[in-house]
Amino acid sequence: MASKVVKRAYKYRFYPTDEQREQLARTFGCVRYVYNRALDERSRAWSRERRNITHAETDKMLTGWKCDPETEWLTEPSKGPLQAALRNLQGAFDKFWRKQASYPTFRKKGRSKDSATYFSNCFTYRDGQIKLAKQAEPLDIRWSRLLPEGAVPSQVTVSRDARGRFHISILVETTITEHGPTEVMVGLDAGITSLYTLSTGEKIHNPQHEKKDRAKLAAAQRALAHKQKGSNNRAKARDKVARVYARIADRRRDHLHKLSTRLVRENQVIAIEDLSVRNMVRNHSPARAVSDASWSSFRSMLEYKADWYGRAVIAIDRFYPSSKTCSACGRIVDALPLDIREWTCSTCETVHDRDHNAAKNILAVGLAVQACGDGVRPRRA
């Protein structure tokens, strides 16, 4: 079996000292300030002068901000996280220009995860310990699993979530052995009642983590709403809300990782639909369930794991009528409301489970896309 060298991130929880906690809080604040100010400069230049400010120009601006007496506190943290913030902003603009994401937005304190990225010249890794620049002691990392033998971190990202937990993501180059080839292929039809229906007929149960904790979340949010702003009790109530959200996110991520790993291990080709989740969540009715299903995150997991282990993930045209097409004879019905979960083809009289039929069609179209290298969609009358 072939092997390949890939960049892989290993995430661990760590417990900072009081001094490290304070220093990281200042670093997070500086990173947020640099990101927001650079975004403001770029937006203003475009709206007033129709001029595009490059990443190199914002890097020069950062040097000027450090020399400005009003913002000389930007010299306190390591330079690496500040430069990484400008790179992240450039990446956000690149995705916007490629129409892969919306226009970059400002980062607000307390409303987004704080993070700071350190490049190889801004930290040391020695004897299994990591020490960040401008810190006297190494981080107290809980090594839940070992790094690959001989791996040398190229960068690390420290983060603090809304619940106040600190994590470190360590990026290393490691060798991965591809899975042995197999002739098994599968199509996936995304859903709400069943998270995914496979072309084999198997239905993956949707745990609906957010729905299970909805009552607990609502109670925590009501308690938060009744607390006086700025009080210690409000801070405690906010922490309780964050704990519920963190529990939901952790359980969802764990379930999706296990499912994606299993599918990549068992199947050579995985066909999925190219769903437009952003448009789906604009409809308030299914938005909550769609967000809880986290189809975009699952697709991302499938794609990078398939790339690692020598598998193929094929996304078919989102407008292909997979549910309305008979997988036996190819006839397309005129209408198939969502409340109809089983239907009979009037041509070949095959009885179809809606989701299973769609999964079989997705697999067939996915294999056609793989062979032809193009989207497959029936012609419109």
Cα(64)–Cα(44) distance, rounded to whole angstroms?
18
In whole angstroms, give the CA distance from residue 271 to residue 370.
10
CB 369 within 8 A of CB 311: no
* Residues forming a β-bridge with 149: none
Please choose, from the candidates 341, 339, 323, the residue with its C-alpha nearest in 3D space to the C-alpha of residue 331: 323
DSSP 216-231: HHHHHHHHHHTSPTTS
Between vectors from CA 246 to CA 240 and to CA 248, what angle results, nearest 5°? 110
Active centre residues (catalytic): 189, 273, 355
Structure tokens belonging to residue 52:
């595009």
Q: Which residues contact 289 (CB under 8 A, 6 or more apart)?
A: 192, 208, 211
Work out whether the CA dihedral 331, 332, 333, 334 comes out positive or negative: negative
The letter for the amino acid at 333 is V
